[in-house]
Amino acid sequence: MKIFICGDSTAASYTQERYPMTGWGQVLPEFVPGAEVVNAAAAGRSTKSFLSEGRLTAIEREIGPGDLLLVQFGHNDENPLAWRHTDPWTSYMNTLSIFIDTARLYGAVPVLLTPICIRAWKDGVLLPSHDDYPEAVRTLAAQRGVPLIDMYEKSLALVKSLGEEKSRELYMNFPAGMYPTIPEGRQDNAHTRPAGAEAYARMAAEGLREFGLV
């Protein structure tokens, strides 16, 4: 069985030169032994741009019966640039439906994942992120009978439980001098370091097991 991942930078794989940047799709193989993971997630992509660049078409050449197609977008669908942006209740659901239909056409199982939360704390409160996009994914999954892994709610709960300071360890939020690849440090609350990637990959794998897919 192959597991194909369609997504953005939060799931993508990175070279050692980009360390500690690590997407959850990069480490998913550690949590699904016996499956071949094909991580097609790419930084900066929305459902719209992923399709327009032919990235799903490339997957069609490999995907087959019994395979899984994991689909997680949202961060860039929110972007106002016309070539990325989708509306959560119309074009976003429509483009996600193309992934669902494509997987089923080839006998594969589509799995929808809500986007991971952005670590946005204000006055000691973790703020919600992604507006209506997570709820649109939930709605579409229910309408189309697609397995749903609610990564948004799971990640939100984890970040809350860790607290404002401890949750920095999940994300690319660290001071200068900690990593030689980024000596100036970074204040990035959307992308993950290894600890975050591993936590979210574990969530995805647990979700797949709950549905009996792995």
The set of catalytic residues is: 9, 184, 191
**E strands in the chain:** 2-7, 36-39, 68-72, 109-113, 121-122, 125-126, 148-149, 171-174, 186-192
| Rounded-to-integer distance, Cα 191 and Cα 199, Å | 13
Please answer whether residues 47 and 35 qualify as being in contact, where contact means their C-beta atoms are separated by less than 8 angstroms: no
Instruction: Please give the structure tokens belonging to residue 42.
Output: 């790419």
CA end-to-end span of the chain: 9
Please answer whether residues 160 and 150 qualify as being in contact, where contact means their C-beta atoms are separated by less than 8 angstroms: no
